[in-house]
Amino acid sequence: MTIKTLDEFLATIPDAQHRARMVDVLVWMGLTYPELELRIAWNQPMFTHHGTYIVGFSAASTHMAMIPERATMIRFEPVMRERGTDFGTMFARQP
């Protein structure tokens, strides 16, 4: 199934609290960074700037994943280590 709208993406999150948290994060991103454009691509919401990928979000049953551009991961790796955030080279997971 190809997801084309934010509503379609949100419908894939069965837990109402998880869905509400995703909405909170996406609204916060839009208000905090109004220069970014919210798009749905690769079946997930992402923010771009002048067509350049900045960060995407996905949801799993136990966490929300944030998939920022690589430079962001490098910049914030020390902070994520300090906070004990679960992360890899291209993503960070938040329970």
- Do the domain assignments include residue 49? yes
Q: State the average pLDDT for the chain.
A: 93
1 within a domain of the structure (yes/no): no
Instruction: State residue 59's pLDDT score.
Output: 92
Looking at residues 25-50, what average pLDDT do you find?
96
pLDDT tens, position by position, 75-84: 999 999 999 9
Range of the domain at 46: 6-94
pLDDT value for 62: 85
Please report the pLDDT score of residue 94 as a whole number. Answer: 81
CA 86 to each of CA 26, 64, 95: distance values in angstroms, whole numbers, following the listed order: 20, 11, 9
Domain assignment present for 19: yes
How far apart are alpha carbons 9 and 7 in whole angstroms? 5
The enclosing domain of 54 has a CATH number of 3.90.1150.200
Q: How many structural domains comprise the chain?
A: 1
Cα distance between residue 52 and residue 72, in whole Å:
14
Q: Residue 81 has what pLDDT?
A: 92
In this predicted structure, what is the pLDDT of residue 45?
97
Q: Is 70 exposed, middle or buried (0-12, 13-18, 19+ CB in 10 A)?
A: exposed
**pLDDT of 31 over the 90 cut:** yes
